[in-house]
Structure 1
Amino acid sequence: MRFLPEEQQRRLLAACYARSHLTPEQLWMRYFALGGSQGLLELDAYLNGLTTLPRVDRDMLAHAVNERLDEVAGPARAPYSHSVRDGRPVRGPLKALVDLLEGAHRAPPERLPAVVAEAGRALDLRIGVYLADYDQRLLVPLRPGADEELAIDSSVAGDVFRSAGTTVSRDGTLWTVLLDGVERLGVLEVVPLDGADVDDPILREQCQWLATLLGHLVTVTTQYGDGLDVQRRRRHRGSPAELLWHSLPPLTGATERIVVGASVQPAYDLRGTVFDYALSERRAQLAMFNGDASSAVVNALSAHRAARRDGASLPDQYAAVGAELAGRHAVAGLVAELDLHTGVLQWLDAGHPAPVVVRGGSALPRVGPTPRQFAADARPRATEVRLEPGDVVAVYSPGLVETTDEGGEPFGHARVAEHLERGAEALPPEIARLVTRAVIGHSGGELRHDAGILVARWQPR
């Protein structure tokens, strides 16, 4: 609790007393009725700065003055010795956050843009919400009657999304990334209504508060309604893709020591590729599974998760996947574990491309895939490499490198390494997005194989 300096309280109290039009006797009577024990002369001496009073008497005197001011003058009040928390905020950033929280309580997802608009008005801002579509090509406006969709690769808003930052466009609009934790969901468009300076760091900070809270609300409301999900879809999603998408973790995850980002395409026709990760204080566990049957791939993913959450070692996780599949389906995959303190990366693969490590902008020599299948009785020895701070690790699906152009030339491992090297300084989710966009471009726009990639950057403290 913060206490007001005694002399500052006295000066402010004396100024308020002067506006109350009370005589010293009338003030003393009000103070005495509240339980005060000081005499009239002591009160008069205190108001004139000739003596001090105990804190409890100062506060009773302030309350007596405030009661009179409430009768004749309105809101200007004498201060108490300690800060008194107000009730519901009536203006400013706190009101905006309260409005956003209360407006979203039990609100269906499609009402969220209106709730955001109300929160913006508390800050004298017009706020527009744009969410990234599932192809991560467009930013889709949620505001009714809003402008057309914005291209992620060729707009100011798209640049903010790609860099997960904040910027001001030439027309004075402030754009800031919309995040749920560290996952990029879209951007906010912010236009001051009161002529405020968009370069004001305080305004930017307030907008980032709203963006962080709103990002969380977008994710939460999407879990119990389709209103926002429908906005992000550009076309029908097949049932295998629906099953696989709902089995995936967020496209981005991070701790102090690692950032992970992923991308899987085609977003609406995904057939048999999933990824997974689990981050903790000590380790990061990564996985990817690929197959022709979506149900078998989901079963492999579930078996891996169950074993991992039981605390199983990497070989035991591998064996658990084999036991689940039991030779019924051909599923390629990889399970890996990175020690976040030492940088030691270990993995076990089954017909799956080995991870690529990019160090200092150059890919290290690649290890070939192991020609084996998941098996319940298998306890193979893991391949191991020691990372250096800042290294980027990428795990990608076989279909990503097998995608061919019109002439039949596959995308290939060399192109994967080239794109990883070129974008190594970008955010891991942006690296992953750019690689899958390149694969789509190589195929002429239509993927015949799933293209999935999981990118991690180790950054020890």
Structure 2
Amino acid sequence: MRSLPEEDQRRLLAACFARSDLTLEQLWMRYFALGGSLSLLELDAYLNGLVTLPRIDRDMLAHAVNERLDEMTGPAHAPYSRSIEDAKPLHGPLRALVDLLEGAHRAPPERLPAVVADAGRALDLKIGVYLADYDQRTLVPVRAGAAELDIETTVGGEVFRCAGTTVTREGTLWTVLLDGVERLGVLEIVPTGDADPDDPVLREQCRWLATLLGHLVTVTTQYGDGLDRLRRRRHRGSPAELLWQSLPPLTAATESVVVGLSVQPAYDLCGTVFDYALSEEQAQLAVFDSGVRTASATTAVVHALAAHRAVRHGGACLDEQFAAVAAELAALPDAPAVSGVLAELDLATGVLRWVNAGHPEPLVVRRGAAVPTTGPAVPQFAAAGAPPPVTEVRLEPGDLLALHSRGVAETTDGAGEPFGRARIAAHLGRDAGELPPEIARRLTRAVLAHGGGAFRQDAGVLIARRLPR
């Protein structure tokens, strides 16, 4: 923001006062009404160049004159000590962030790449945007003509998997594109001037830019299809569309817990849905699974999810959540059986409590090995009868908790051998050092490979890691 020299401001202010048709006493009254405290004599001395005034008094006098000029025919106004037009930074990280915010105002989703390119120029950078497809196999370029990137084999894919930042030998900086903690894609950043990609300050500035852009991608996708269409590799059926819209974000975190989700098949999801709610004290987790792939299965699990959320939002305990889901399902005509787990994790003590309605038990992995978690279960969500039994274990900091659909364990290979709980535990133990969303992604990819590239049941998993407070 550029400051106007004091004498130039006084000279222009005096000239505007002369055109305002105000007497000195009238100007002083207007100035006094704005909060000024100088005497009439001091004001007269200032206008004649005999004394100087603090900036705040000069600006109040300018405002008093300008109010009068607004009442007239609109002659030139008296200047303030700092020019409002020069408030916008001309270069650097703040200019980049301002450009991104201003450019995204009322912008449709497909305009965001051009907006971020303009923002990058303020940092002497050329920025390319890549978004992960819904299968999380490929990073799709937003710029027309650029090549897609395989998540498993490319530098950009490695940055996405690790949610990190790296610089190649050619001097290209890659950084993950995040909305909060959810991975959306990556940015390819190429210096065009004197910018040094190894400069930690520049990396931090790029991280700010990526975080803001990730938030804008998520927000604009809620009211436009331009970017969402890029992430789709093929048509998504109506059951899958409904379930995807019902899912929470695939990643969330607080200081005490990180949650990651993966669901497959991304375009044919039919009978499995997950949910969670995080607070300062607690993480509430749920899975609902019909085990079949029919239209009625989709309806049943969505109704179960809606009933669960409705009472959970009101502070219901596990028993009350269970009863609400059971009552909802009992009211559905010809609904298939729905299994599920409702769980709550006390983030202060690590105590995990859950109720099981005919579903595979939660898995807990500690230091690479599965911890026994067998507990009582009821056959299904029942609307009447005694409260369901509650199982309780204590999670240590660093432990992984997994809720998975039946299709994960029951998917078979060509010889008819199911993937099985032992393989699930082995994959969780092997990948325990990764981020929870990456652990979940790798597990569902392994199930897909085991099944020969096809899913006969939904394969979904929710991974939660307790963090030390």
2: CA distance between counterparts of 1:29 and 1:257?
61
- Please give the secondary structure, in 2, of the residue aligned with 1:425: coil
Task: Give the drift of 1:182.
Answer: 0.6
User: Is 1:310–2:314 an aligned residue pair?
Assistant: yes
Opposite residue 359 of structure 1, the aligned amino acid is: R
Mapped contact 1:429–1:455 kept (Cα < 8 A) = yes
Of 381, 390, 405, the match for 1:382: 390
Which residue is equivalent to 1:331?
Answer: 338
* Structure 2 counterparts to residues 341-352 of structure 1, below 5 A: 341-352=348-359
User: Is 1:131–2:138 an aligned residue pair?
Assistant: no
Opposite residue 448 of structure 2, the aligned amino acid is: I
**For the structure 1 residues 275 and 32, does the alpha-carbon distance in structure 2 shift closer, same or farther, using more than 3 Å as the test?**
closer
- Please give the secondary structure, in 1, of the residue aligned with 2:246: coil
* Structure 2 counterparts to residues 78-227 of structure 1, below 5 A: 86-146=86-146, 148-227=147-226
Which residue is equivalent to 2:365?
Answer: 358
Measured against aligned partners, the alpha-carbon deviations of 1:236-288 in whole angstroms (never above 9, x if no partner) come to 11111111111000000101110000100000111101000000111000000
Measured against aligned partners, the alpha-carbon deviations of 1:356-403 in whole angstroms (never above 9, x if no partner) come to 111122111241672511012241121000111111111111111000
* Structure 2 counterparts to residues 46-61 of structure 1, below 5 A: none
User: Is 1:453–2:452 an aligned residue pair?
Assistant: no
Which residue is equivalent to 1:76?
Answer: none
2: CA distance between counterparts of 1:101 and 1:237?
32
**For the structure 1 residues 287 and 37, does the alpha-carbon distance in structure 2 shift closer, same or farther, using more than 3 Å as the test?**
same
Equivalent pairs counted in the alignment come to 414
Mapped contact 2:272–2:287 kept (Cα < 8 A) = yes
Percent identical pairs in the alignment equals 66
> 82-91 vs 343-352, which deviates more?
82-91
Mapped contact 2:130–2:142 kept (Cα < 8 A) = yes
Measured against aligned partners, the alpha-carbon deviations of 1:134-179 in whole angstroms (never above 9, x if no partner) come to 0101100001221x11111111111111111111112211000000
2: CA distance between counterparts of 1:237 and 1:290?
20
User: Is 1:340–2:362 an aligned residue pair?
Assistant: no
Give TM-score, length-normalised by structure 1.
0.83
Mapped contact 1:264–1:436 kept (Cα < 8 A) = yes
Measured against aligned partners, the alpha-carbon deviations of 1:36-95 in whole angstroms (never above 9, x if no partner) come to 969x9x99xxxxxxxxx98669999xx9xxxxxxxxxxxxxxxx9x99995222222222
1: CA distance between counterparts of 2:234 and 2:274?
23
Which residue is equivalent to 1:74?
Answer: none
* Structure 2 counterparts to residues 222-237 of structure 1, below 5 A: 222-237=221-236
2: CA distance between counterparts of 1:218 and 1:57?
42
Task: Give the drift of 1:448.
Answer: 1.1
Mapped contact 1:139–1:158 kept (Cα < 8 A) = yes
**For the structure 1 residues 183 and 290, does the alpha-carbon distance in structure 2 shift closer, same or farther, using more than 3 Å as the test?**
same
Opposite residue 264 of structure 1, the aligned amino acid is: V
RMSD: 2.9
2: CA distance between counterparts of 1:444 and 1:429?
23
* Structure 2 counterparts to residues 401-420 of structure 1, below 5 A: 401-420=409-428
> 405-414 vs 110-119, which deviates more?
110-119
Of 308, 326, 333, the match for 1:322: 326
2: CA distance between counterparts of 1:357 and 1:447?
25
User: Is 1:296–2:303 an aligned residue pair?
Assistant: no
Task: Give the drift of 1:120.
Answer: 1.1
- Please give the secondary structure, in 2, of the residue aligned with 1:212: helix
2: CA distance between counterparts of 1:125 and 1:28?
42
- Please give the secondary structure, in 2, of the residue aligned with 1:215: helix
Mapped contact 1:352–1:369 kept (Cα < 8 A) = no
Task: Give the drift of 1:460.
Answer: 3.1
2: CA distance between counterparts of 1:183 and 1:126?
24
* Structure 2 counterparts to residues 242-253 of structure 1, below 5 A: 242-253=241-252
Which residue is equivalent to 1:256?
Answer: 255
**For the structure 1 residues 275 and 28, does the alpha-carbon distance in structure 2 shift closer, same or farther, using more than 3 Å as the test?**
closer
Give TM-score, length-normalised by structure 2.
0.81
2: CA distance between counterparts of 1:214 and 1:266?
28
2: CA distance between counterparts of 1:118 and 1:406?
52
Structure 2 alignment gaps of length 5 or more: 18-42, 63-80
Which residue is equivalent to 1:284?
Answer: 283
2: CA distance between counterparts of 1:176 and 1:30?
50
Task: Give the drift of 1:351.
Answer: 1.2
> 303-312 vs 358-367, which deviates more?
358-367
2: CA distance between counterparts of 1:220 and 1:131?
15
- Please give the secondary structure, in 1, of the residue aligned with 2:140: strand
1: CA distance between counterparts of 2:194 and 2:224?
37
- Please give the secondary structure, in 2, of the residue aligned with 1:445: coil
- Please give the secondary structure, in 2, of the residue aligned with 1:106: coil
Mapped contact 1:340–1:460 kept (Cα < 8 A) = no
Structure 1 alignment gaps of length 5 or more: 1-8, 21-26, 44-52, 64-79
**For the structure 1 residues 83 and 314, does the alpha-carbon distance in structure 2 shift closer, same or farther, using more than 3 Å as the test?**
farther
**For the structure 1 residues 402 and 121, does the alpha-carbon distance in structure 2 shift closer, same or farther, using more than 3 Å as the test?**
same
Mapped contact 1:406–1:444 kept (Cα < 8 A) = yes
Mapped contact 1:354–1:369 kept (Cα < 8 A) = no
- Please give the secondary structure, in 1, of the residue aligned with 2:160: helix
> 334-343 vs 112-121, which deviates more?
112-121
2: CA distance between counterparts of 1:369 and 1:93?
56
Opposite residue 205 of structure 1, the aligned amino acid is: E
Which residue is equivalent to 1:373?
Answer: 380
